[in-house]
Amino acid sequence: MTKIQKDGVRHIKEAGIHHMGKRTGYTLIDGEYRIAPAYILQFDAFTAQRAGIDEMLCSVTKHAAKTLEVIASQNKKLWDEIIDDIGLDASMEWGYYHNGVIKKREKK
C-alpha cells in the first residue's frame, strides 16, 4: 500500500512479519529482510564515505595524469634540445643515467 504524507513524500507501507533480533527489530517481506533504521544509517554513512574516497581518487588520478603529460612534454623538449646541442643521432634511443651520463639504449 502506498500513502502520500502531508510532506508530499510517497511512503510505502508493506505488510510483513515483524521480528525482534538480539538488539533491533526487522521485518521480513517476501524473503527480504528490512533492517532497523540504526543499521540503515550506518550503511548510508559507509556508502557516503566510499563515494567521497572514489571522488577524491578520481580527482587525484586526473591531476596526476595531467601532471604526467606536462612532464612527458618537458622531457621530450629536453631530449630534443640535447640531441640538437651535442649532435646525437636522433634515430637512436638514448637513456639518461646517473651523474649526467647519456648512452644508447636498445629500442623496444
pLDDT tens digits for range 1-37: 445 555 655 555 566 778 888 888 888 888 888 998 8
Q: Flag whether pLDDT at 98 surpasses 50.
A: yes
pLDDT of 30 reads 83
Euclidean distance between CA atoms 108 and 91, whole angstroms: 13
Q: Which of 94, 98, 63, 56 is closest to 78 using CA atoms?
A: 94
pLDDT of 55 reads 97
Q: Which of 50, 19, 47, 43 is closest to 32 using CA atoms?
A: 19
Can you give the pTM of this predicted structure? 0.57
Q: Flag whether pLDDT at 99 surpasses 80.
A: yes
pLDDT of 2 reads 45
Q: Which of 3, 22, 25 is closest to 12 using CA atoms?
A: 3
| Spans of all domains in the chain | 16-105
Average pLDDT value for residue range 37-60: 96
Average pLDDT value for residue range 80-86: 96
Beta-bridged to residue 20, according to DSSP, are 25
pLDDT of 13 reads 56
Residues 69, 61 contacting (CB under 8 angstroms): no
Residues 83, 94 contacting (CB under 8 angstroms): yes
